[in-house]
Structure 1
Amino acid sequence: MYGLQIIRNADLEELRELGSGTFGTVYHGKWRGSDVAIKRIKKSCFAGRSSEQEKLTKDFWREAQILSKLHHPNVVAFYGVVPDGTGGTLATVAEFMVNGSLRNVLLRKDRSLDLRKKLIIAMDAAFGMEYLHSKSIVHFDLKCDNLLVNLRDPQRPICKVVLDPREVGDFGLSRIKRNTLVSGGVRGTLPWMAPELLNGSSSKVSEKVDVFSFGIALWEILTGEEPYANMHCGAIIGGIVNNSLRPPVPETCDPEWRILMEQCWSANPDIRPSFTEVTDRLRAMSAMLQSRAQAPGS
């Protein structure tokens, strides 16, 4: 079907629940002897009038097909769809990342990530995003919750961007309205949303909405905090739209990191760099840090 891998429910083994959200529940499981992430999708995701149900189901299959064709070391691999879940529910099977989301890693302060590791993580995420944009795919929901990590190698963390069939914004199919306020469920994502998504200037919406989100994610990686944690939605929306609200940059922030972060979250999409430029600049920062570490007397 659609050239997609169809996976039988009987071939899956669920080991433990990893988390649940609006769209469903994710489990760590096994498929053909390998560790995988199994996402059981709630039936309510496809609710509505029969014509609406049909459209949502069709969208899901089409977007799953797009995901199955993506192959990049910094994008979580999508293996296939399970059409015969319990009670006729759908599920997806994807690559399992041992340490889960970067947000969870940052919350657990016991895992100290130095600047070198933070740069590697940011670079990995930017490489993944550069690839998605090269395929005309806009994420629309980039944040540390959607960056998955493997920290098994103490020297080299690995970070990958995760996409969901319910979250693919394919520009060829102009899925621009996917994550605007209309679709609800915006609360958790608000701090990462570019002003043009919130102020109704949808003609200006481009892949640069992801660059804005990446700027906020850089701040998360830097501080380990959640942006605007104690603020109400209304105040956040107002602040982003009138450009008076951005997360506070710590005094100790590396100047290059600060410049990049502030350009990424610029109110003007034209000022925001492309992900190709972002990866170049992060690479240069990484090289500079390395040469400083190797300098005599350092």
Structure 2
Amino acid sequence: MEQLRQVGEALGGVTALMSFADDLRINPRQCRLLADACALAFASVAAEVRAHLRFRDRHAKWKPLEAPLRELHRAVRDAESYVRHCLEPRDSWWARAAAATHGADCVEQHLHGLLWSVSVVVEAVESVSEAGTTDPDELARRRLLLAKDYDRDMLDPRLFRQRLGVRYLATRELASRMETAWREDRWLLSQLLEERKDPASPETLTRNEHRLADLLTAPRGKVHPASLLHQGDFQVRRRLAGNLKEAQWMGEAFAVKHFVGADADAVGAEVALLTLVAHPNVAHCRYCFHDEDKREFFLFMDELMTKDLASHVKEVNSSKRRIPFPLVVVVDAMLQIARGMEYLHSKKIYHGDLNPSNVLVKTRHADAHLHVKVAGFGQFAVPAVSPRPSPRASVNANANNNNASAAAVNPCIWYAPEVLELEAARWSEKADVYSFGMVCFELLTGKIPFEDNHLQGEHMSKNIRAGERPLFPFQAPKYLTNLTKRCWHGDPAQRPAFASICRVLRYVKRFLVLNPADQQQQAQPDASQPAPPPPPVPPVDYLDIEASLLRRFPAWQAGGAPPRVSDVPFQMFAYRVVEKERTRAAILHIGRDRASDSSSDCNSLCGDESGSGSGSLGGVLSDAEAPVSASSRGTARSLSAPSGSRKASPRKLDRKVTSRLAGPPQKSKSMGVVRQPQVIRRTHRIKSDGHLISALVPPSRRRVSASGGGHSDSELA
């Protein structure tokens, strides 16, 4: 309840600011769109809460809503900050207009986060409603209503928009406004400046303001004289990463690329590329200034970012942490990088040198969340910009370098095997996906890939081409390591496109928000303390869901239509429909398997049914590296039987469990260390279809150990 109140409070701030909408001169259409979307989001969530939950249960049963509502509150709070930024210029209206009129943050950042969080909150409300119902008739009624909403026939964008568009903020009107708001604001700004240029205007412009008006309305990519800078109190403050500097201009802070003595054609090519893009997760250029006398170029970038990802990971990494950041922050950073790369690839721009040093970050909130931008593609994507050494030559040149920088010591670790063999393969979609997988490894582990490997230089290059990859620690979540391993697959055709990676990561982030206790298990376990319960895992492989949906929606394939934020609600809903379908199939498979067992075998296998614990779909994913084409039958099989080619009898399986529980872990040449079965306990987390599992899985299939802890079938195999 407190989180819902905070969302309403943040919405009140947006509403109060929009009371002065007539005074908005910067991005008025986008501010109005964002304010309306926030109001619709709160109305949708409040309607869902009223329809499915009881107010008197708010203290006892609403706790699983806290994390999803916290994400919605963050999205509305960021929207309020955006509106205030446009309404209240701090020092100079001209500087604020120069800083805020070329971006796409309203739709691509703020509305993207808002639509995603609404989908998660709606699902959380439905799950809490079903899990908290004790009346069998009421439970059956609610399940019937939900089954109608998640029917496979709803996998039609038009039907989804017609029936559920208001609930998920997926109406045609809102989508149309997202497409046109930015262009309308550009037109309104040009009209405003033309009026102020008129000599009859009550607000006459100075000579310098006339030049600033021309700057704001000029096409992107035009090179302006540097004299305009010096008339606005331009001052360089400090040096940032690479050739970036922090500069102050008309009271606003900007990130500036400074070139001295550079070739005009080369800089012009980079400017043309950097002004072609506009995305909150891609570093792009707003304006370019040239001083002909000093042969200097100043490229004003879109936003001031404090450091690169490599430096940030090194700062926050600690030996006491399993991962450098909370897992939901890691997935959010991975998603932002993937969205930036998805946007670049939709423009047919390939990076060629994606690594943590070319990923810029800035902390957004006190909870360690980051704003991430992909940078460094301008100097590599166009051959005319600068000479690019061959990856193989870079490896040889840096083979004996002892510098700790990842890109300097082993540049080959970020390159795909085909790039190490052939330079021309460097600028391709699949090569960038491979590099993304290596960046994800550093985010998940806090370590540079291969940093513990004794082989360096050309030897490392040979090993990578031979198939060697970094090793994840034991506790790394399999649903993320499997995705990362698919990204660095040796066969480029097996690597997913960034559009698919974005959809998978959105749904993984949704899973983590619905299971917030997983974020607390970051410290290394203390041997004197009892082992914490294992974190939940998704009930199905999301890469399997993506493969299924790609067959149904060929337009989702890479190279199709450019990504649109308005498509996010339907994509999240489609994942949910297929996930529920796969989960039901797995449960029915368990029921059929139970019916085929004799009662004596069931008793010998299950033991005393009076023990505590229950089965769970928590261990559904196999530890093996399964390809995307793995069928859902493999997932269901891991729920009900060992993964071998022959089905073991229950008595043999019981003897295996007894022998494994009795002795210490043993090593095997092929399998490594045999892990002890983990204990699955009931928690207050929202697991996908967890309520359905508890209701439909028969007690005789809930295997109980002598100690009272339950074990999933995949752990007993």
Q: Could you say which TM-score interval applies, normalised by the shorter chain?
A: 0.7 to 0.9
Decide whether aligned partners of structure 1 residues 98 and 29 sit closer, same or farther in structure 2, where only a CA change above 3 A counts: same
Give the alignment partner of residue 135 of structure 1, picking from 336, 340, 347: 347
Query: 1 CA distance for matches of 2:504 and 2:310?
Result: 23
Query: For residue 235 of structure 1, what is the amino acid of its counterpart?
Result: H
Decide whether aligned partners of structure 1 residues 203 and 110 sit closer, same or farther in structure 2, where only a CA change above 3 A counts: closer
The match for 1:242 is: 466
Mapped pair 1:226 → 2:443: no
Alignment map for 1:123-202 (pairs within 5 Å):
123-155=335-367, 156-169=369-382, 178=388, 180-181=390-391, 184=394, 187=398, 188=407, 189-200=411-422, 202=424
Query: For residue 297 of structure 1, what is the amino acid of its counterpart?
Result: H
Alignment map for 1:253-292 (pairs within 5 Å):
253-292=476-515
The runs of 4+ residues in structure 1 deviating greater than 6 Å are none
Query: For residue 246 of structure 2, what is the amino acid of its counterpart?
Result: H
The match for 1:50 is: none
1:116-161 deviations in Å (ceiling 9; x for gaps)? 1001111011011000000000011111111111213134421111
Query: 2 CA distance for matches of 1:234 and 1:275?
Result: 30
Structure of greater relative contact order (alpha carbons < 8 Å, 6+ residues apart): 1
Decide whether aligned partners of structure 1 residues 183 and 92 sit closer, same or farther in structure 2, where only a CA change above 3 A counts: farther
SS at match of 1:167: helix
Query: 1 CA distance for matches of 2:267 and 2:427?
Result: 23
Query: 1 CA distance for matches of 2:334 and 2:426?
Result: 26
1:185-217 deviations in Å (ceiling 9; x for gaps)? 985232111111111274696211100000000
Mapped pair 1:211 → 2:423: no
Assess if the C-alpha contact under 8 Å between 2:352 and 2:377 holds in 1: no
The match for 2:309 is: 102
Query: Unaligned regions of 5+ residues in structure 2, if any?
Result: 1-218, 319-323, 399-406, 518-681, 686-717
Q: CA deviation at 1:36?
A: 1.6
Query: 2 CA distance for matches of 1:5 and 1:286?
Result: 41
Mapped pair 1:38 → 2:256: yes
Decide whether aligned partners of structure 1 residues 41 and 179 sit closer, same or farther in structure 2, where only a CA change above 3 A counts: same
Of 121-130 and 154-163, deviating more is: 154-163
Query: 1 CA distance for matches of 2:392 and 2:481?
Result: 33
Query: 1 CA distance for matches of 2:281 and 2:470?
Result: 26
Identity of paired residues, percent?
24
Assess if the C-alpha contact under 8 Å between 1:7 and 1:80 holds in 2: no
Query: 2 CA distance for matches of 1:166 and 1:3?
Result: 16
Query: For residue 88 of structure 1, what is the amino acid of its counterpart?
Result: R
Mapped pair 1:70 → 2:277: yes
Query: For residue 460 of structure 2, what is the amino acid of its counterpart?
Result: I
Larger Rg: 2
Mapped pair 1:121 → 2:333: yes
Q: CA deviation at 1:35?
A: 1.7
Query: 2 CA distance for matches of 1:92 and 1:183?
Result: 30
Of 84-93 and 210-219, deviating more is: 84-93
Q: CA deviation at 1:248?
A: 1.6
Q: Normalising by structure 2, what TM-score? A: 0.36
More strand by share: 1
Decide whether aligned partners of structure 1 residues 74 and 105 sit closer, same or farther in structure 2, where only a CA change above 3 A counts: same
Q: CA deviation at 1:164?
A: 4.8
> RMSD of the TM alignment (CA)?
3.0
More helix by share: 2
Query: 2 CA distance for matches of 1:181 and 1:2?
Result: 33
Query: 1 CA distance for matches of 2:458 and 2:475?
Result: 30
SS at match of 2:299: strand
Decide whether aligned partners of structure 1 residues 86 and 192 sit closer, same or farther in structure 2, where only a CA change above 3 A counts: farther
Give the number of equivalent residue pairs: 278
Query: 1 CA distance for matches of 2:372 and 2:220?
Result: 29
Query: For residue 105 of structure 1, what is the amino acid of its counterpart?
Result: H
